[in-house]
């Protein structure tokens, strides 16, 4: 045990100041190295030893994150890896429930760090029936002590953390019990939030009830047109692809017409395969309402820059970002044709001062000179650059960037 502890724990623990973002990230990477070593040692280590080291590492990791600037999430991810190992090793090591349950309660209700949850489903093999019963009894004791939730804003409730932990455990225990009614009650709640319907679908998928998972994913998809419904729609499509692949094309078609974006068109294109010609016209008609999506789809999915170029002009594309993406490809087909667009993008970039904008404009102008080299457009480009230098003569940083790019 000493060898594994001495290898892993010094990389987890830290006494240095971790309130600086860079220091926290560096130590977080070191923690991941420690967990890599721990995971590699598990197959050849006695389960009790592996559990003890993991438990100590988790305790130390929580102390570290409690005093660190973990804006990058690196330390948090390390903690999550340890939290995933902990129940597995507890079961393998045969940790007594009488020892494990009190620790689980303290971790959730009395820890200095409340960033993480414990999953009773993951701990069920280690707890066994008697341990789970003790765990449920302790949760009920806390529930009874708190009493009913107040009608006022929950942020004003001094017991809001305890109530949240109880709700979380209710959801996970409903999944553990495979209790359909309890899953709906604890996950969907009052059915007023799309994400809750999505969570219900995921819970049913977890217990293997695919019919109910698909039903609730569809409900979440149809709830509204917001981003949560779009996420639910993609989850619905994933479930269909895995469990009902013969229905995927119809499902992708449904989702596309609900949200006619380039991304959904691309996914429909993939699902259609050889049947794509049957959908092509309807997809094109639907994308007309959003020129940027129409151009992006033609360029990225259909790999047809000529069609994308035509659409950009026919539909009066206004997105500078999409124009920029388009001309990078189309300049290999007709370098002179893209010059007016490059010019407009330079002018738009320079409407706002800033070193980054000046660098972007200089790079674009240098590229324009390269494209126009040896053509009748070359002198016009140089005249345009001189005009910009004169117009922005009070911007010394712009002049400097133009000089660096060797512009006239």
pLDDT of residue 155 exceeding 80, the answer is no
pLDDT reported for residue 153: 61
Instruction: Show the tokens assigned to 6.
Output: 């001495």
DSSP 224: -
Distances (CA, A) of 366 to 28, 324, 336: 42, 15, 14
Would you give the distance in Å from CA 24 to the centre of its chain?
Answer: 22
Instruction: Show the tokens assigned to 295.
Output: 């151009």
Whole-angstrom distance, CA of residue 292 vs CA of residue 320: 9
Please, what's the b/e burial string for 39-76 (b: 16 or more CB within 10 A of its CB; e: otherwise)? eebbeebebebbbbbbbebbbbbbebbeebbbeeebbb
Taking only the tens place, the pLDDT of each residue in 352-379 is 999 999 999 999 999 999 999 999 999 9
pLDDT reported for residue 115: 86
pLDDT band per the 50, 70, 90 thresholds, residue 207 = very high
First to last CA, the chain: 70
Question: Looking at residues 254-264, what average pLDDT do you find?
Answer: 97
Q: Please state, rounded to an integer, the average pLDDT across all residues of the chain.
A: 95
Whole-angstrom distance, CA of residue 21 vs CA of residue 26: 9
pLDDT band per the 50, 70, 90 thresholds, residue 5 = very high
Question: Looking at residues 216-238, what average pLDDT do you find?
Answer: 98
Taking only the tens place, the pLDDT of each residue in 279-330 is 999 999 999 999 999 999 999 999 999 999 999 999 999 999 999 999 999 9
pLDDT band per the 50, 70, 90 thresholds, residue 151 = low
pLDDT band per the 50, 70, 90 thresholds, residue 152 = low
Whole-angstrom distance, CA of residue 249 vs CA of residue 255: 10
pLDDT reported for residue 346: 96
DSSP three-state, residue 241:
helix
- Decide: pTM greater than 0.75: yes
Ranked by mean pLDDT, which of 5-19, 136-150, 209-223 comes out on top?
209-223
pLDDT reported for residue 1: 60
SS (H, E, C) 29-42: HHHHHHHHHHHHHH
Please say whether the dihedral angle defined by the alpha carbons of residues 243, 248, 252 and 255, taken in this order, is positive or negative. Answer: negative
């Amino acid at each position: 045990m000493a060898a594994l502890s001495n290898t892993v724990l010094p990389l987890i623990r830290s006494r240095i100041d971790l309130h600086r973002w860079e220091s926290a990230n560096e130590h977080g990477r070191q923690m991941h190295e420690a967990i890599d070593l721990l995971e590699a040692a598990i197959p050849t280590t006695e389960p009790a030893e592996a559990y003890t080291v993991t438990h100590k590492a988790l305790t130390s990791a929580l102390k570290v994150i409690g005093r660190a600037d973990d804006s990058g999430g690196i330390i948090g991810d390390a903690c999550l890896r340890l939290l995933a190992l902990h129940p597995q090793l507890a079961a393998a090591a045969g940790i007594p429930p009488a020892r494990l349950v009190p620790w689980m309660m303290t971790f959730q209700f009395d820890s200095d760090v409340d960033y993480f949850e414990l999953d009773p489903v993951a701990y069920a093999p280690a707890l066994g029936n008697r341990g789970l019963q003790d765990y449920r009894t302790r949760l009920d004791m806390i529930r009874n002590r708190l009493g009913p939730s107040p009608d006022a804003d929950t942020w004003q409730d001094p017991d809001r953390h305890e109530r949240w932990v109880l709700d979380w455990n209710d959801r996970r225990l409903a999944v553990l019990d495979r209790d359909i009614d309890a899953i709906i009650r604890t996950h969907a709640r009052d059915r007023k939030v799309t994400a809750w319907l999505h969570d219900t679908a995921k819970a049913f998928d977890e217990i293997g009830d695919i019919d109910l998972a698909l039903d609730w994913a569809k409900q979440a998809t149809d709830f509204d047109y917001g981003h949560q419904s779009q996420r639910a729609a993609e989850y619905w499509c994933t479930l269909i692809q895995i469990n009902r692949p013969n229905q995927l094309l119809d499902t992708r078609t449904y989702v596309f017409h609900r949200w006619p974006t380039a991304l959904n068109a691309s996914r429909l294109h993939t699902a259609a395969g050889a049947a794509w010609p049957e959908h092509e016209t309807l997809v094109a008609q639907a994308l007309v309402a959003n020129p940027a999506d129409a151009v992006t789809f033609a360029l990225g999915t259909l790999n047809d820059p000529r069609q994308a170029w035509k659409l950009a002009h026919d539909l009066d594309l206004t997105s500078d970002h999409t124009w920029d993406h388009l001309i990078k490809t189309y300049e290999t087909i007709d370098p002179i044709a893209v010059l007016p667009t490059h010019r407009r993008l330079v002018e738009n970039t320079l409407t706002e001062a800033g070193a980054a904008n000046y660098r972007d404009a200089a790079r674009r102008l240098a590229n324009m000179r390269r494209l126009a080299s040896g053509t009748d457009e070359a002198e016009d480009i140089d005249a345009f650059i001189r005009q910009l230098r004169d117009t922005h003569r009070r911007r010394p940083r712009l002049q400097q960037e133009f000089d660096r790019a060797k512009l006239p």
